[in-house]
Amino acid sequence: MTGRDWNERSVAMGEFVYPYYFGAGCLERITSAMAGYDTDQFVVVTDDHVLALHGEAFLSGLRRHAPVQVLSLPPGDAMKSVLHLNSHLEKAIGAGATRRSVVVAFGGGVVGNLAGLTAATLYRGIRLVHVPTTTIAAMDSVLSLKQTVNSGHGKNHIGTYHAPEAVYLDVDLLRTLDDKQLRSGLCEAAKNCLAIRPEALPVLRTRLAGGNLSSPDVLLWLLEESLTAKSSVTGDDAREQRSGLVLEYGHTVGHAVEMEDRRRRGTDGLSHGEAVMLGMLAAARISRGIGGLDDRAVAEHDELAHHLGVSPKLPDAVTPEAVMDVVRVDNKRGYLPVSGEEAAMVLLRELGHPYGSRDLPLTAVSLEAVKDVVTDMVRVPEPWHGSGAS
């Protein structure tokens, strides 16, 4: 087979190393490879949309090797709850899952998080395999040991760490994504370039400007770039609590906007990647306001957002006050001592160079400065030429 059909890379997370197999048109090879797990049951965690699109081809391949139990829910961030986690655990145990069983995450980032926490907590930890079907999962969330669900207060407050046995990707699965979901993962790729590998920005701009973002060649390049960027900061930081925190760029405001928008508009709200891109636009302006990024670097953020189709305006259903309520309980609290009027954020001093140190790329930012920028996002025209924090 050609390199376009089947490739292998190692993902190193501290002492954990797992293989990532990827190619185009390789779904049958993926299910054949999973026969090697000698399992008594595959527990497939997915969502109803993925199940309808790809379930028949994938599940029929798995069933040739072992019984399959399917745990599926309506798609959306609402899947990531303690209630649904408990339901999945009870159903898996009731259907005969054992310590020999393998949990298979078949879907996007939300599915992967719920499946990962299911695997991590079932019998205190059983095997996990990722088969991502979205760009956000393939290029970001599967490249992590973090398994998590949301609390009623904010995103990703409840979880643990659990390493997968492997990741398997057929990029042809990504070609069925709608434009919104396709670009969601590309926003995370843009984050990696801005925060970690600015030398890749010229190629990224060319790829984005060239269109046809769902072509296998473009997707495989983006995947390789994501693997390179993430491994450079997680190789010695399996839990992403030191150098890996740079991957949280754009997430403080982004997570808050995403959560509040989804509360109001459900699945019609911003995708995770779109919200993170919006969070990066805010972070760039906050940095400029404290003497960090210059106008050219801020414009680089704006240009990428434009190519990715992300509006710089806060969604109409979301208020600055609601965003700030979530920012105050951001899950990075505790890494850096801050006052009650500050938030610990990843901000760039210049592209590829965050404030703080490599081992703690965080800086304290006044909540007032954050709110000023978020408030500007309510009334910003397009394209955004706002002045940012002052």
Q: Closest by alpha carbon to 237, among 326, 357, 366?
A: 357
Which of residues 177, 198, 213 is at a domain's end? Answer: 177
* Angle separating helix axes 251-265 and 272-289, nearest 10 degrees: 140
The DSSP bridge pattern shows strands 102-107 and 42-47 to be: parallel
Which of residues 154, 177, 200 is at a domain's end? Answer: 177
pLDDT digits (tens, 9 = 90+) for 44-56: 999 999 999 999 9
Q: Mean pLDDT over residues 361-390, rounded?
A: 78
Same domain, 154 and 291: no
Q: Mean pLDDT over residues 333-351, rounded?
A: 94
| pLDDT number for residue 334 | 87
Is 248 labeled as catalytic in the residue annotation? Answer: yes
The pTM score is 0.85
Same domain, 18 and 166: yes
More confident residue, 332 or 366: 366
Same domain, 316 and 191: yes
Residue 390 in domain: no
More confident residue, 5 or 261: 261
Same domain, 278 and 207: yes
Largest CA distance in the chain: 62
| pLDDT number for residue 90 | 98
Is the pLDDT confidence value at 256 over 50? yes
Is the pLDDT confidence value at 4 over 70? no
Given 188, 225, 240, 248, which residue is catalytic?
Answer: 248
Same domain, 191 and 304: yes
195 dihedral zone (left: phi>0; alpha: psi -120 to 50; beta): alpha
3-state DSSP of the chain? CCCCCCEEEEEEECCEEEEEEEECCCHHHHHHHHHHHCCCCEEEEEEHHHHHHHHHHHHHHHHCCCCEEEEEECCCHHHCCHHHHHHHHHHHHHCCCCCCCEEEEEECHHHHHHHHHHHHHHHHCCEEEEEECCHHHHHHHCCCCEEEECCCCCCCCEEEECCCCEEEEEHHHHHHCCHHHHHHHHHHHHHHHHHCCHHHHHHHHHHHHCCCCCCHHHHHHHHHHHHHHHHHHHCCCCCCCCHHHHHHCCHHHHHHHHHHHHHHHHHHCCCHHHHHHHHHHHHHHHHHHCCCCCHHHHHHHHHHHHHCCCCCCCCCCCCHHHHHHHHCCCCCCCCCCCCCCEEEECCEEECCEECCECCECCEEEEHHHHHHHHHHHHHCCCCCCCCCCC
Same domain, 283 and 353: yes
More confident residue, 177 or 95: 95
Across 60-74, 87-101, 134-148, 209-223, least confident range: 209-223
Is the pLDDT confidence value at 73 over 70? yes
Residue 2 in domain: no
Same domain, 118 and 145: yes
Number of domains in the chain: 2
CA distance 86 to 173: 29
Same domain, 33 and 114: yes
Residue 137: Cβ-neighbour burial (10 angstroms; 0-12, 13-18, 19+)? buried
pLDDT band at residue 383, thresholds of 50, 70 and 90? low
pLDDT band at residue 389, thresholds of 50, 70 and 90? very low
Same domain, 166 and 187: no
Same domain, 27 and 164: yes
Domain that holds residue 85: 7-177
Is 146 labeled as catalytic in the residue annotation? Answer: yes
Q: What is the CATH number of the domain that holds 153?
A: 3.40.50.1970
pLDDT digits (tens, 9 = 90+) for 97-111: 999 999 999 999 999
Same domain, 341 and 243: yes
Same domain, 286 and 331: yes
The CB density around residue 371, as the number of other CB atoms within 10 Å, is: 16
Which of residues 177, 192, 213 is at a domain's end? Answer: 177
| pLDDT number for residue 390 | 30
Residue 205 in domain: yes
